[in-house]
Structure 1
Amino acid sequence: MATEPLLTISAFARAVELAPSTLRYYDEAGLLPPAEVDPRTGYRYYTPELERRASLIRRMRNVGVPVETMRTALAGPPERAAAVLAGFAERAARNAQQTQAVIDEIVSALQGQVPIQDVAVTVDGPELAAGLRKVARAASDHELALRGVLLDVDGGAITPVATDRYWLAHWSIPVAEAQTPDCRAFLPLDGLEDLTSRLEHHDAVTIEFGSGKVTICDETDSMPIPTADDRFPAYRLIVPDTAARSGRVTFDRSALTALLSAGPGDDETPIRFAVGTDRLGVSRLGDTESTRIDAVTSGTSTTMWFPAALLRKALDTMVGSAVSLVYSTSDRAVQLIPVEQNRLGVLMMPSRPEP
């Protein structure tokens, strides 16, 4: 009985127009395993019948489909693949429309053709004050373009966002208006405390966004807010897609905080998270044993690493006792969410310790 010829990874890579390094990655991700691996040399070998699967993967990659979504689409029946990919296409189209609208508005404003539309939203003052204080902890100490908080109005919510490029905090707060045009403004850290002190004394405040200005209005007075050039990154592009998440672990925040406080003071010490079935094992690089923290888990098991300093800051930003860590693929940010206030969230990128 004839068997199909085996192709080396280089030959297969040329045939399917994917780099050998990409094939190795897809093998490790369980997306495109080779037909055979030499146990002595570790060389991967492929058969021509794998070309169709590789072609589908390449085409999905070219339009930005995440690995986890690819895996779901290829593992199930055609109906499931159609539903999953249709959902991705819908989200991609929505993001593209939002991006195009913002770009068109900015270009028009820069060309002096059309001023940015004035927008006014009414929001709960104390909650906005709390959101600004919480997310401001993620603002950069040294990069001027990130030394502040972005106020982002999108649909029916206003979201304060801050980042130092290593982690990001955001808090989405509903506004009274049912339909609101998208707009945003960047507020420097200087003066933010005066703003939050005023906000927390008023049940409802109206925030007016104009061309180059923001004004806070309460029952008796209005207060102009200094803004800075908005060079804040497109943070929405990195917020995890809930449909593509692969797991979630919920644990007691104080238990992990106490564990981190009891260890060495080196803020750069890598901390290992090992998520299993209803358990979370936490250890530092070099530890021979991990400490178990009671947890509730769903989805796939995984292992992640985070710098100790980043974890301390993220946990300090949370509210309440129970927090959830939501994760998807290894190349996507994870999200830390307080169970009792899920409008607040922190994004962190897992890292690998240096060998």
Structure 2
Amino acid sequence: MSSSEVMSIGSFAQRTGLTASALRFYADSGFLAPARVDAGSGYRFYEQGQVDRAVLLRRLREIGMPLAAVGDVLDADAERAVRLVEEHVRKVLGDAATAQRDAASITASWAGEPPSEPIALSGPVFAAAIEQVLSATTRESEIPVLNGVFFECGPEAVTVTATDRYRSATRTLLPVEQVTVGWSATVHADDLRSVLSGVHRSHRVSVALARNGVRVVLDGAAEQHCRLLAEPFPDHRAMLEALPAVTTRVAVEKVDLLRALEVSSAAEPSLAVRRDGLTLTGDSGVGSPVPALVTGPDLDIRFQLTTLYPAVSTAIGADLLLDLRGAEQPATVRSADHGDLTALVMPIPARSRP
């Protein structure tokens, strides 16, 4: 082996971004043995072919991967290595979210302010409501409040609302027991997602507002803490009140509309609303008739699938009402028999015709 084919530990360290001491540690740990060790001096030498493995080892350690997991990645094929890295990232993010909630709960205990009067709700109903409105949240670094759910808790009802500017979803719940004092706050959507599994398994839950968050108490007195978002929530009520009057109303079975959306697989499905029914047209230009009861003038309206489909799929009950106000006005999707879930969906401009 010629000197041009090997590198001293110092040169190898410079090439890979690892310190000489780290290279000795990884060699002794069995992760990156030197290509040759001089018997007399004990100097370690590395080959060019070891650079990629050393750089990968360094990068895996930089994202906080434990040594045992690093060894698994280094010895895995590409497909398994990708899966192991993704699993590690999910765990890191989960641990960080748990730490954030726990820290908020700890600091809340020092606030010296007792939580508001707890509001008792049905666990399964509360879980379903949160899941339904969470579909209208989004993560935008410039507008963090869009990754929040706005709670309005009064003596007779609890209303939860979310919006991503292109759609909104609102659900109203009845408390198991009435309370005397109300409150409102925007709760971090990621924290609500984290507590959902426990809420699903609880017959009854209670929610209460504290200075630094919302406390969700499950069956068995297990307590979860959800952070608040300080930014003002968009005035969704004013937006709803400013909407023009409904001009065309469509009554349609949820399963029929979902099936048509899924079969078309269009990124921007178009709805042709006529007196005799509804036709959904996909990217291919082929229309799929959907049985519907239509009242009002004919209308052609187009949506992004990513906004329309969640609004339809999370609706309650078998039958839906689509309240349409024109091709460029927000459409309302609501349940025909259970009107407490309301989703507002923005259409997109119709394609220009040649």
Please say whether Structure 1 and Structure 2 have the same fold, judged by a TM-score greater than 0.5: yes
Normalised by the length of structure 2, the TM-score is 0.58
Kept in 1, the 8 Å contact 2:276–2:294? The answer is yes
Query: 1:293 matched to which residue of 2?
Result: 290
Q: Deviations over 1:318-349 (max 9, x none)?
A: 24432211123556421111335322221112
**Alpha-carbon separation, structure 2, partners of 1:229 and 1:163:** 16
Q: CA deviation at 1:220?
A: 4.1
C-alpha distance after superposition, 1:159-184 (max 9, x if no partner): 22222211112211112455655522
SS of equivalent to 2:291: strand
Matching residue of 1:273: 271
| Pair 290,219 (structure 1): closer, same or farther in 2 beyond 3 Å | closer
Contact 1:272 1:285 in 2 (8 A): no
Amino acid of the structure 2 residue aligned with 1:247:
T
Query: Contact 1:158–1:172 at 8 Å: present in 2 too?
Result: yes
Equivalent position to 2:138, from 134, 137, 140: 140
Could you say which residue in structure 2 is the equivalent of 1:157? 157
Residue 286 (structure 1) shift:
7.7
Within a 5 Å distance, the mapping from 1:1-355 to structure 2 comes to 118-143=116-141, 144-154=144-154, 156-176=156-176, 178=178, 181-218=181-218, 220-221=220-221, 222-239=223-240, 244-263=245-264, 267=267, 269=268, 271-284=269-282, 287=285, 290-328=287-325, 332-355=329-352
2:190 partner SS: coil
CA distance 1:251–1:213, shift in 2 (3 Å) = same
Residue number in structure 1 paired with 2:47: none
CA gap of 1:187–1:246, structure 2 versus 1, over 3 A, is: same
Cα distance, 1:162–1:284 mapped onto 2, change above 3 Å: same
What is the DSSP-based 3-state SS (H/G/I as helix, E as strand, rest coil) of the residue aligned with 2:134?
helix
Counterparts of 1:262 and 1:162, CA distance in 2: 28
| Offset at residue 276 of structure 1 (A) | 2.3
TM-score by length of 1: 0.58
My pick for the range that moved more, 226-235 or 166-175, is 226-235
- After superposition, the C-alpha distances for 1:180-230 in whole angstroms (9 at most, x for unaligned) are 555222222333233222222333322112333322235642433222224
Kindly name which structure, 1 or 2, has the bigger radius of gyration based on alpha carbons. 2
The 8 Å contact of residues 240 and 332 in structure 1, kept in 2 or not, is answered as: no
Unpaired runs of 5+ in structure 1?
1-114
**Aligned partners of 2:277 and 2:293 also within 8 Å:** yes
C-alpha deviation, 1:130, in angstroms: 0.9
Give the counterpart letter for 2:150 in structure 1. L
Q: Structure 2 unaligned runs (5+)?
A: 1-112
* Distance in 2, Cα, partners of 1:209 & 1:273: 43
Identity %: 21
What one-letter code is carried by the residue in structure 2 that aligns with 1:345? T
- Letter matched to residue 271 of structure 2: F
Q: Is the Cα–Cα contact under 8 Å of residues 260 and 290 in structure 2 kept in the other structure?
A: no
Task: Find the aligned partners of 1:247 and 1:181 in 2 and give their Cα distance.
Answer: 40
What are the Cα deviations for residues 55-111 of structure 1, in whole angstroms up to 9, with x where unaligned? xxxxxxxxxxxxxxxxxxxxxxxxxxxxxxxxxxxxxxxxxxxxxxxxxxxxxxxxx
Contact 1:146 1:162 in 2 (8 A): yes
What is the distance in 2 between the residues matched to 1:262 and 1:338? 23
Does the CA-based 8 Å contact 1:245-1:327 persist in structure 2? yes
Quick one: which amino acid aligns to residue 322 of structure 2?
Answer: L
- Judge conservation of contact 2:319–2:335 (CA < 8 Å) in 1: yes
Aligned CA distance change for structure 1 residues 155 and 130 (closer, same or farther; 3 Å)? same
Counterpart residue type for residue 246 of structure 1? T
**Is the CA contact (8 Å cut-off) linking 1:217 and 1:223 kept in structure 2?**
yes
Does the Cα contact within 8 Å between 1:240 and 1:335 map onto a contact in 2?
Answer: no
2:299 and 2:327 in contact (8 A); partners too: no
Give the partner amino acid of 2:128.
A
**Following TM superposition, by how much is the alpha carbon of 1:139 offset from its aligned partner in structure 2, in angstroms?**
0.8
Report the equivalent of 1:6: none
Q: Retained in 2: the 8 A contact 1:118–1:208?
A: yes
Cα distance in 1 between the residues matched to 2:115 and 2:248: 41
DSSP 3-state at the match of 2:307: helix
State the AA in 2 paired with 1:196. Answer: L
Q: Is the 8 A contact 2:327 2:349 kept in 1?
A: no
SS in 1 for 2:135: helix
Give the deviation of 1:151 after TM superposition.
1.9
Name the CA distance, whole Å, in 1 between partners of 2:264 and 2:328: 28
- Contact in 1 for aligned 2:115/2:208 (Cα 8 Å): no
Q: Give, as a single letter, the amino acid of the residue that structure 2 aligns with 1:256.
A: L
SS at match of 1:239: helix
